[in-house]
Chain A
Amino acid sequence: MNWAGLYTVLSGVNRHSTAIGRIWLSVIFIFRIMVLVVAAESVWGDEKSAFTCNTQQPGCNSVCYDHFFPISHIRLWALQLILVTTPALLVAMHVAYQQHQEKKLLVLTGHGDPKHMEEVKKHKMRISGSLWWTYVCSVVFRLLFEAVFMYIFYMLYPGYQMVRLGKCEGLPRPHTMGDRVHRVVRACARRGQHNSNPSSGKGSFYGHKLSSEYKQNEINQLLTEQDGSLKDMLRRNPGLQEKGDRCSAC
Chain B
Amino acid sequence: MDWGALHTILGGVNKHSTSIGKIWLTVLFIFRIMILVVAAERVWGDEQDDFICNTLQPGCKKVCYDHFFPISHIRLWALQLIFVSTPALLVAMHVAYRRHEKKRQFRKGDQKCEYKDIEEIRKQRFHIEGSLWWTYTSSIFFRLVFEAVFMYAFYFMYDGFRMPRLMKCNAWPCPNTVDCFVSRPTEKTVFTIFMIAVSSICILLNVAELCYLLTKFFLRRSKKAGNPKHHPNHENKEETKQNEMNELISDSCQNTVIGFSS
A86→B30 CA distance, assembly (Å): 8
B72 CB-CB contact with A under 8 Å: no
Partner of B255, one of A69, A111, A125: A125
Partner of A2, one of B34, B46, B251: B34
A43-71 CB contacts (< 8 Å) to partner B: 48-49, 57-59, 61-63, 65-66, 69-71
Contact present for B186 and A104 (CB under 8 Å): no
Contact present for B33 and A1 (CB under 8 Å): yes
Smallest CB–CB gap between A172 and chain B, Å?
Answer: 6
B170 CB-CB contact with A under 8 Å: no
Contact present for A5 and B183 (CB under 8 Å): no
Interfacial chain A residues near B245, Cβ < 8 Å:
105, 108-109
The B contact surface, by secondary structure, is helix
Smallest CB–CB gap between B194 and chain A, Å?
Answer: 8
Contact present for A126 and B52 (CB under 8 Å): no
Contact present for A63 and B181 (CB under 8 Å): yes
A202-225 CB contacts (< 8 Å) to partner B: 207, 210-211, 214, 218
Instruction: Mark interface residues in A79-94 (1 if CB within 8 Å of B CB, else 0).
Output: 1001000100100010
A101 CB-CB contact with B under 8 Å: yes
Instruction: Output the residue of A69, A109, A126 with the most chain B CB within 10 A.
Output: A109
Of the candidate stretches B35-43, B94-102, B146-154, the one touching chain A is B35-43
Interfacial chain A residues near B248, Cβ < 8 Å:
101-102, 104-105, 108
A82→B38 CA distance, assembly (Å): 10
Partner of B186, one of A111, A116, A210: A210
Contact present for A1 and B249 (CB under 8 Å): no
A54→B91 CA distance, assembly (Å): 59
A9 CB-CB contact with B under 8 Å: yes
Partner of B183, one of A48, A125, A126, A210: A48
Contact present for A75 and B187 (CB under 8 Å): yes
Contact present for A1 and B42 (CB under 8 Å): no
Contact present for A5 and B4 (CB under 8 Å): yes
Smallest CB–CB gap between A65 and chain B, Å?
Answer: 7
A109→B181 CA distance, assembly (Å): 69
Instruction: Contacts A119-B257, A128-B255, A171-B166 known; list 17 others, CB within 8 Å.
Output: A1-B34, A2-B37, A48-B183, A58-B52, A59-B181, A61-B52, A62-B52, A62-B181, A82-B34, A93-B23, A101-B252, A102-B255, A108-B248, A109-B245, A109-B260, A129-B254, A172-B166
Name 27 interchain pairs, CB-CB below 8 A, sorted by A.
A1-B4, A1-B30, A5-B34, A48-B183, A59-B166, A62-B50, A62-B181, A62-B184, A65-B183, A66-B185, A71-B190, A72-B43, A78-B35, A78-B38, A79-B194, A82-B30, A82-B34, A97-B19, A102-B256, A108-B248, A109-B245, A120-B257, A123-B257, A128-B254, A172-B166, A210-B189, A210-B190
User: Measuring CB to CB, which residues of chain A are less than 8 angstroms from any residue of chain B?
Assistant: 1-3, 5-6, 9, 48-49, 57-59, 61-63, 65-66, 69-72, 74-75, 78-79, 82, 86, 89, 93, 97-98, 101-102, 104-106, 108-109, 111, 116, 119-120, 123, 125-126, 128-129, 131, 171-172, 207, 210-211, 214, 218
